[in-house]
Every structure is written in C-alpha cells, then in structure tokens.
Amino acid sequence: MPIGIRGHERSQRWAAWYPRYAIQQIVKPMDLLRQAGTVNDHLPVRRGLRTLMKAWKWLTYPWGPAGSLGFEVATGKPTTTPQSDLDVVIYADSPLSRRDAQRLLASADDLEVKLDIRIETPTCGFSLTEYATSPTKTILLRTVAGPILGTDPWDRNGSRERLGQARNSATGQL
C-alpha cells in the first residue's frame, strides 16, 4: 500500500510502500471530523476547519481534513503552523453539480487561511476550484493511469485525453 512519511519540516516527506498485513488501522479524513472537536483553535487552519464544519452541514458527501491538519488530528503530533493551508478532501461517488461546487467555494470565501479542496470520485481526483470555475468545463483529472483532461469526472467511459496525447494530436505527432 502506498504511504507518505513526513518529518518535522515540510521538505522532509518521502513516498514509500507498506505491506497491507502490517497496517493496524486506516483513518480517513471523514473520520477526523469527529476528533476535530478536540482541536484547539489557536491557529488559522484549525479555525478554518471549524468554520467549514458549520458552513457545510448541508453537504451529504463524506469529507474531512487532509494534509498537515489531517495528520495532526489523526496522530496528535503538532505539524500545523500559522502559515499552514487547509487541505480538504470530499468523497463524491455520485456527481456533484457545478452549482453545489460553487456554493462550497462561496461558503469558504471569508476563511483566513488558503483552502485547497480535492474531490475524489470512483475514477479520479480533481480540484474543486477548477471544477467550479473553469469556463471551458474541461479540467485536469488525476487518475491511476496519470493525468488526463476531461469534462465529467464521474464518466467511466467518457471522452478523456491523456495530456501527452492531447499535445501530440495538436501537432500531428505521435
């Protein structure tokens, strides 16, 4: 199973593999919302999470903190700083309308922290901001096969192009 290992500094991050049989517990971002009530609000990133928890009560998709705050809530080890951004992941097995995506962004307009929201679907991941604001409706989709451009992150068979293929087809090169 792929894992990320982090040190005390942002630059101390490593990718690794860990055998499944050795994993004792998996904590998902949505599990962390229950623990977030115990988080002290002395940093902007923590206040931002509390604000989203109130503003997104209407959201039916599972979601929660990722990044340094997610790590901190999951492990109890202090990793956030006054400059930390708030990374959030939303698991959307069914389509999220662009209107609802815009509503999510609007409800976060007044946060005192930079917000990065990633949507995970059964087939890919993508940026909520790009999805909600792209005038062309074509966005970058991160798949297990690599990044591709597409218009419907929930379409398993839709028209998607690998980024390299899209560039090469424009020049006529293979």
Active site residues: 85, 87
* CA dist., res. 140 & res. 162, Å (int): 10
Q: Which residue has the tokens 């109890």?
A: 76
- 73 close to 65: Cβ distance less than 8 angstroms: yes
60 Cβ contact partners less than 8 Å away, ≥ 6 residues apart: none
* CA dist., res. 44 & res. 14, Å (int): 26
Amino acid at 17: W
Report which of 120, 125, 93, 88 is spatially closest to residue 104, judged by C-alpha positions. Answer: 88
162 Cβ contact partners less than 8 Å away, ≥ 6 residues apart: 145, 146, 147, 148
